[in-house]
Structure 1
Amino acid sequence: MMEIDGSYGEGGGQLVRTAVALSAITSRPVKITNIRKNRPNPGLKPQHLKALETAAMVCSARVSGLSPGSTEFSFSPVEIKGGKYRIDIGTAGSIPLLLQCLMPALPFAEEKIELTVRGGTDVAWSPTIDYLQHVTLQALEKMGYAGRVKLQERGYYPKGGGTVLATFEPCKLRGFQFKNPKNKLNLEVQGISHVSNLPSHVAARQAEAAKTLLLEEGYSPDIGTECFELFSTGSGITLWTGFFGGSALGKKGLPAEKVGRQAAGEILPELRSLAAVDIHLADQLIPYMALAGNSSYTARELSMHTKTNIWITEQFLDVKFRIREKDGLFEVSVD
């Protein structure tokens, strides 16, 4: 059984999610120790447990150590099974992060996999469901990935209650070289500003603040608004164009205008750079690039998440990533 030090690099949930996905793909049992060792509250949290339990269910895996606060667990996959699954994360655990744990492995099932997941769609410390749909999956489609998500209901912290239908088809990944768009000012920045159980003007003000900043930089924004009365209360905005995204969430006492400016402020540095992908997509692409081969991208910086994902991927697969710094960008490639 392979043993992985869960405190390596970023030392958080990302390492655990990637390790489990690659264990499922390679059929290599794995034991992960020192999970989230350097965090204020070490060990597995409820949202990690639900992702790992779901992975075990889809892979018919034998597991041990899956309990709140556990700093060590083992995962021994059998096979990735197609079919329909219903998962309730509970409260506002992140649906995108749960899917992130499963998605690299799902193309290797022999049949289609359909997941109905209930939890949080727009929560802190996680990609939003709109980012997953409009940035991550659009990038993976270029690599032959066959997955789609349909937002049925949004869920915000702390109550959650959001629902997403995600469908994945068996497919063969292919290499892809992500290139910087020649003129990013020609890109139309799209977005959605949304609220639940709040006045509609909150969504409008978030959108208008983001539009103002984007227009000042010469971009053409098209940001829609959505207003709901749902199980949970909250607001947020996600912006995207090509392989770049930005998002922000509302919270009590935070003006709507500031939320909109935060989202624009996240995507604008990516658009100003000559990078091919944003810094968040850069870490998400790593396992898919290794599985597909012959892939590359440039990013304006390499986060610790990206470096950790490269390390854990190289532990499971017979690949070696190359990192080259040139003209203020990082080029990441794999044969």
Structure 2
Amino acid sequence: MIEIDGSYGEGGGQLVRTAVALSAVTGKEIKVTNIRKNRPNPGLKQQHLKSLETAAKICGAQVSGLFPGSSELFFSPIEIKGGKYDIDIGTAGSITLLLQCIMPALPFAKEKVELTIRGGTDVAWSPTVDYLQHITLRALEQLGYVGSVTLRERGYYPRGGGNVSAIFKPCKLHGFHFRKTEENEKFGEKLVGEEGFEEESQKRKIIGVSHTSNLPAHVPARQAEAAESLLLEAGYGSRIDVQSHESFSTGSGITLWTGYCGGSALGERGLPAEKVGRRAAEEIIAELRAGAAVDMHLADQLIPYMALAGNSSYTVRELTLHAATNIWVTEQFLNVKFRIEEKEGLFEVSVDG
């Protein structure tokens, strides 16, 4: 049995999600203690429970400690199975964080896994569904990962109601070295003007989506316009799709991406749409100006996959506590050792194997 101190490093839900995923892969039972010990509301929350319940179903695990506020978890996997699963997180629990709990294990399933998940697609403190589709999964493809996520309906805080379908197939992971942004130009899309001529820009193009539900159509347009204006000032062309829907929950957001870098922001009551757009633009501009291979959010998500694939690396402008914690957890399960070096103002993270 592997014992994990849930208060180590970042000490949040991600530590538990990574530990459970790698427990499923390795077949090693785990005991996680002090779960979210230093948080205002320690222990497991409802959305953590749904993630862990789903992981247990997929790998036939024996599990205890699954209740709200639990500070200790026992998880003993048997076999990663395929099949179809219908999951309702309830309210606006993050769909992308639930997927983080199971995705590293799914290449090792006996057959493909098909999921229908209801919950939050665009909620605070988690990757947006657009980020997952256009950045995370695109990066994982380079490691041989085979999976797709389709957005059916958006769900915002606090009501949720979002709907996503996903398919993941068994696959063999392989190493990949993520290079600097300048070498990823193939991911930038060419912008074509009204007369069919390609617009010139000093730097590559940024793609995005600005969306709302149950709000006036000018809100996503203003978000997009503010983002486009700031990006243009920074020397980046952009094309941002504007979407206005009527659905179960009310909210707004914007996600921008190019290559392995992104930026996103969510609307809030009383927050002008222009500020939402600018926040997303500022985030991706900071990443692109640093010249790293991946952004800070992708950097921590990639850790378990890189360890499973072996012989992989990336550069990032800052190694977050999330990434450092994910490295520590991953090294508890797999016979790997990550190397971290500072080079030309960036952090290079690599793993052999």
TM-score, length of structure 1 as denominator length: 0.99
Runs of 4+ in structure 1 displaced over 6 angstroms? none
Paired AA for residue 163 in structure 1: N
Is it true that 1:145 corresponds to 2:145 in the alignment?
A: yes
**Cross-structure match for 1:229:** 246
Task: Give SS of 2:268's match.
Answer: coil
| Uncovered stretches (5+) of structure 1, i.e. residues with no partner | none
> Shift of the alpha carbon at 1:181?
2.7
Question: Which of 318, 328, 331 does residue 314 from structure 1 map onto?
Answer: 331
Is it true that 1:268 corresponds to 2:313 in the alignment?
A: no
Aligned pairs (5 A) from 1:215-294 = 215-294=232-311
| Uncovered stretches (5+) of structure 2, i.e. residues with no partner | 186-201
**Cross-structure match for 1:213:** 230
> Shift of the alpha carbon at 1:304?
0.1
Alpha-carbon distance in 1 for matches of 2:34, 2:166: 32
Is it true that 1:171 corresponds to 2:171 in the alignment?
A: yes
Paired AA for residue 172 in structure 1: K
Alpha-carbon distance in 2 for matches of 1:136, 1:38: 29
**Cross-structure match for 1:53:** 53
Q: Deviations over 1:137-188 (max 9, x none)?
A: 0000011100100000000000000000010000000100000132775321
Count residues in correspondence.
335
**Cross-structure match for 1:114:** 114
**Cross-structure match for 1:328:** 345
Alpha-carbon distance in 2 for matches of 1:226, 1:156: 15
Alpha-carbon distance in 1 for matches of 2:208, 2:337: 36
**Cross-structure match for 1:83:** 83
> Shift of the alpha carbon at 1:213?
0.5
Q: Deviations over 1:62-91 (max 9, x none)?
A: 000100000001000001110100000000
Using the aligned pairs only, state the percent identity. Answer: 74
- The answer to whether the 8 A contact 2:120-2:156 is kept is yes
Paired AA for residue 340 in structure 2: I
- The answer to whether the 8 A contact 2:181-2:288 is kept is no
Is it true that 1:9 corresponds to 2:9 in the alignment?
A: yes
**Cross-structure match for 1:38:** 38
> Shift of the alpha carbon at 1:116?
0.3
Alpha-carbon distance in 2 for matches of 1:246, 1:182: 18
**Cross-structure match for 1:20:** 20
Paired AA for residue 105 in structure 1: A
Alpha-carbon distance in 1 for matches of 2:29, 2:139: 29
TM-score, length of structure 2 as denominator length: 0.94
Task: Give SS of 1:182's match.
Answer: helix
> Shift of the alpha carbon at 1:96?
0.3
> Shift of the alpha carbon at 1:222?
0.4
> Shift of the alpha carbon at 1:255?
0.1
Alpha-carbon distance in 1 for matches of 2:234, 2:77: 49
